[in-house]
Amino acid sequence: MSRNIEIKARVGNIEDLENKLVEIADDGPTEIIQDDTFFKCGNGRLKLRTFSKTKGELIFYKRADGPGPKESFYLKSETPEPLVLRESLILAYGAAGRVQKRRLLYFKGRTRIHVDRVKGLGNFLELEVVLDDNETKERGFEEAKLLLSQLGIGDSQMVETAYVDLLCT
Average pLDDT of the chain to the nearest whole number: 95
pLDDT tens sequence across 63-106: 988 878 899 999 999 999 999 999 999 999 999 999 999 999 99
pLDDT at 56: 98
Is the pTM for the entire model greater than 0.85? Answer: yes
Q: Are 138 and 129 contacting, i.e. CB atoms less than 8 angstroms apart? A: no
Instruction: State the pLDDT at residue 68.
Output: 80
Segment 149-156 mean pLDDT: 94
Radius of gyration of the chain (CA): 16
Is the pLDDT confidence value at 169 over 80? Answer: no
Q: Map out the domains of the chain as residue ranges.
A: 2-168
Indicate the pairing of strand 111-118 with strand 70-79: unpaired
User: Residue 119: left (phi > 0), alpha (psi -120 to 50), or beta?
Assistant: beta
pLDDT at position 168 is: 84
Q: What is the DSSP letter of 44?
A: S
Q: What is the DSSP letter of 132?
A: P
User: For the CA atoms of 93, 99, 104, 107, what is the dihedral angle to 10 degrees?
Assistant: -40
- CATH number 1.10.150.20 is the correct assignment for the domain at 2-168: no
pLDDT of residue 65: 84
Q: Give mean pLDDT, residues 32-51.
A: 96
Query: Which residues are registered as beta bridge partners of 39?
Result: 46, 95
Percent of the chain with pLDDT over 70: 99
Cα–Cα distance, 8 to 112 (Å, whole number): 12
pLDDT at 24 over 90: yes
